[in-house]
Amino acid sequence: MKVSVLVAARNEEVTIKSCLESLISQNVNNNVCVDILIGNDASEDNTAEILLEFVRKSDQIRVFNIPQNRPLKGKVNVLDYLSSYTDAEYILFADADVIYPSSWVQNMLNSLLSKDIVTGVTIVEQGELWSDYQRLDWIFALKMIRILSKLGIPVTAMGNNMGIRKVMFDKVGGMKGIPFSVAEDFALFREVIKAEGHFEQLFSKEVLAVTQPINSLNEWLHQRWRWMQGAKKVQVSLKILNYLNIIFYPLLILLGAFFNELLWLLPVVYVVKSATIITIQKKLALKIRWKASLLFEFMYLFTYNVLLIYSVTKPKVYWKGRVYKSE
């Protein structure tokens, strides 16, 4: 049974060593063969040199310099090129700035034995309050997607921790078969759903990967705006729920000005959501970040309402030093 891990790498000299160390240290069953295909996407730092070191270290790794004159662009171009060099039955997608647990490949594969596309759990590395807030934001969102997944409601996938059956990948036309998007993970997921593929959002420490935090609010806005290019295409009911979640507190306060009896919901919702955040951390066997847990609702209210204002101007999408039009 063969599994290929595809990794797009552009200017990743700071993080790629840790990522590759985690990928070549996977514990898999004896009947599982893992190869790691890395696409160097015109990196301008020392990424290429680091990749060559790992090629000498591990025979699992193959490195490709991605041609820039192909019709596809960005990460889609990298993943399309890499996928043409695999004959594996299963494909996993990893990011060069993420560290994966040694149980990742086997547990993603276990799910793919009965599903067509699966998504793991990725969180931000713990640190100061801003990092911890991002950490909790990620796991809360993924937990909600997990609940909807269990109810049979497809939402999205996450390209830094995702797997797909090669048969399904080929059925939807691979990366060439999806409309170009800077949110290529959502675009691929949507094509699988259109093809009536079976999906699953996993939620366990065995598939829990760790990535680096975004350093500033401005960079965070760029990241979330890029993700929103995919979110724009989800079903209308989910869009409405998402926007209601963002404006819930201001809306409740506004309504409370006319109907005072509604104001008691403010502390109730705060306590319930804070307790949920704490419970989710326990579920994943994480150290509870108390300060961020208690301040989460306030930070969420601020950051996502700023994002709504930011999105009104339909700014350009920034990714790895490249600029794209919003979709």
The yes-or-no verdict on residue 226 having pLDDT over 80 is: yes
CATH class of this structure's domain 2-120+158-203? alpha beta
DSSP letters of 121-185? Answer: EEEEPP-SHHHHHHHHHHHHHHHHHHHHHHTT------TTEEEEEHHHHHHTTGGGGS---S-HH
The yes-or-no verdict on residue 256 having pLDDT over 80 is: yes
pLDDT at 57: 87
The yes-or-no verdict on residue 232 having pLDDT over 80 is: no
Which residues of the chain form CATH 3.90.550.10?
2-120+158-203
The yes-or-no verdict on residue 135 having pLDDT over 90 is: yes
pLDDT at 279: 97
Instruction: Using pLDDT thresholds of 50, 70 and 90, give the confidence band for residue 298.
Output: very high
Average pLDDT over residues 261-287: 94
pLDDT at 205: 96
Average pLDDT over residues 74-95: 95
pLDDT at 260: 84
Residues 51, 74: Cα–Cα separation, whole Å: 19
pLDDT at 254: 87
- Crossing angle of helices 16-23 and 47-57, in 10° steps, is 20
Average pLDDT over residues 217-232: 87
Strand ranges, E, within the chain: 2-9, 33-40, 61-65, 90-95, 98-99, 117-119, 121-124, 161-165, 199-201, 208-211, 317-319, 322-324
The yes-or-no verdict on residue 239 having pLDDT over 90 is: no
Average pLDDT over residues 199-206: 97
pLDDT at 128: 96
For the segment 15-49, what is each residue's pLDDT rounded down to a tens digit? 999 999 999 999 999 999 999 999 999 999 999 99
